[in-house]
Amino acid sequence: MASIRLENLSKIYPGAAAKVVANVNLEVGDKEFIVLVGPSGCGKSTTLRMIAGLEPVTEGKIWIGDRLVNDVPARDRDIAMVFQNYALYPHMTVFENMAFGLKLRNYPKVEIEKRVHEAAEILNVHKYLNRRPGQLSGGECQRVALGRAIVRKPKVFLFDEPLSNLDARMRVTMRTEIHKLRTRLQTTFIYVTHDQTEAMTMGNRIVIMKNGAIQQCAGPMTIYDKPANKFVAGFIGTPPINLIKGAILHKDRKYYFDEGKFRVKLMDEMSGFLAPYAGKDVILGVRSEDIYDKLFVSEASADNTVRVTCEVVEPLGSDVYLYLNSGKNTFMARVGAHNRPEVNRDVEVVFDMRKVHFFDPETETTII
Ligand SMILES: Nc1ncnc2c1ncn2[C@@H]1O[C@H](COP(=O)(O)OP(=O)(O)O)[C@@H](O)[C@H]1O
Ligand SMILES: [Mg+2]
């Protein structure tokens, strides 16, 4: 069992000018499942590889438990890593693949047998122990790769996009498998993914990275409800949050968001934060589920109702997506399955002004 602490961790690859990991500070608690998420190239794998000891640290410190590990070789860090390309040895059986790491470390044969069978039980690959990887599906191979990590009984598991090579259905299955695994193993996990759904569903906490720097680190619902900036708001959530350009209008001692084609009144508790922006541009962020069809809500008023053209209606079974156009901005509403406005007609929708966010267009940080 172990906690991990990253202190001002940075990485510059030889010959490169800029940091690909930039002053990262992070504490991962013992037995915590933390997810690093961000777009491709933002420095997730580099961070993970530095923790594993596979990549030298340019600046900063890595602690595992009480031990400063900057100069500890990978094999002595008591960490197991699982990669996207599971890289099993094709000429070895499943059993031999899972046993390989333990054999290298000269574990006694009985202990190896015991651990491989235990892991095979957990991962449900018992039936395949004598098969070779070529005779397994992608999902089964990834289970074996997980098994290879589990048998080591490491202090920390590092997962680098372990599900990215699997098809959509298998990814969902394996996601729940990893959930169960984590409950059963009670170990510290750092899980890297570019997939925000994986991040939201799996992490105790989510660390969102962009250009090598942490944008926000918090629990999934905090990240969703209180994004630190426009990037985080846009990255987490499907469909993505609507970002609507406009300005703050101060009129008759009230504050409004003025989009140009429509106007909505700010909640009193938000006005204070937006008063300094009176007459200035801001970006309003509103999630599609926080825009309602006026016909189906009771709290509609002139202050929160907007007339727009409905350009596309997408019924998804459980909900309906409406693609709306104000003449200046396009945005999306996710409404109940029974809503079917006519296409290319005006509709009135209601913004849930308690749920909207405002971003500074220059710094992109959250105003409120
Ligand atoms: N061995 C390397 N040498 C030079 N640059 C690298 C190397 N590995 C990764 N990079 C660069 O570092 C940045 C971060 O890469 P990486 O950590 O793999 O991102 P991610 O895992 O988030 O997709 C990228 O711009 C990538 O091109
Ligand atoms: Mg990567």
Phi-psi region of 42 (alpha: psi -120 to 50; beta: other; left: phi over 0): alpha
* φ and ψ of 154, to 5 deg: -80, 170
Supply the DSSP string of 97-162, one letter for each residue.
Answer: HHHHHHHHTT--HHHHHHHHHHHHHHHT-GGGTTS-GGGS-HHHHHHHHHHHHHTT--SEEEEEST
Is 43 in contact with 23 (CB distance < 8 Å)?
Answer: no
Q: Is the CB of 52 under 6 A from ligand 1?
A: no
Q: Which two tokens stand for residue 359?
A: 């971003």
Q: Of 1.10.240.10, 3.30.420.40, 3.40.640.10, 2.40.50.140, which CATH number belongs to 242-359?
A: 2.40.50.140
Nearest residue to 356 via CA among 272, 241, 260:
241
**Considering the entire predicted model, what is its pTM?**
0.94
In this prediction, residue 345 carries a pLDDT of 94
Q: Please compute the mean of the pLDDT values over residues 262-273 and round it to a whole number.
A: 96
Cα of 175 vs its chain's centroid, Å: 13
Break the chain into its structural domains and give their ranges: 4-228, 242-359
Helix (H, G, I), strand (E, B) or coil at 357: strand
Fold match, 4-228 / 242-359: no
For 182, the enclosing helix (H) or strand (E) is helix 168-185
Window from 183-187, 269-273, 323-327 with minimum mean pLDDT: 183-187
**Residue 1 in this model has a pLDDT that exceeds 80:** no
pLDDT above 70 covers a percentage of the chain that reads 100
154 lines ligand 1 (CB under 6 A): no
pLDDT tens-digit readout, 191-247: 999 999 999 999 999 999 999 999 999 999 999 999 999 999 999 999 999 999 999
Residues 298-349: tens digit of each pLDDT: 888 999 999 999 999 999 999 999 999 999 999 999 999 888 889 999 999 9
Contact 323, 311 (CB under 8 A): yes
Residue that wins the pLDDT comparison between 85 and 189: 189
> What is the reported pLDDT for 349?
96
27-75 pLDDT tens trace: 999 999 999 999 999 999 999 999 999 999 999 999 999 999 999 999 9
291 has a pLDDT exceeding 90: yes
99, 239, 273, 284, 339 from 355: Cα distances, Å: 52, 16, 15, 11, 21
Amino acid 123: pLDDT = 87
Distance 84 CA to ligand 2 centre (A): 9
What pLDDT digit, counting tens, does each position of 76-121 carry? 999 999 988 888 999 999 999 999 999 999 999 999 999 999 999 8
- Whether ligand 1 lies within 6 angstroms of the CB of 207 is answered as no
Ligand 1 neighbourhood includes 44 CB (under 6 angstroms): yes
Instruction: Decide yes or no: CATH 3.40.50.300 for domain 4-228.
Output: yes
Mean pLDDT of the chain: 95
Distance 45 CA to ligand 1 centre (A): 7
Q: Any bridge partners for residue 209, and if so which?
A: 214
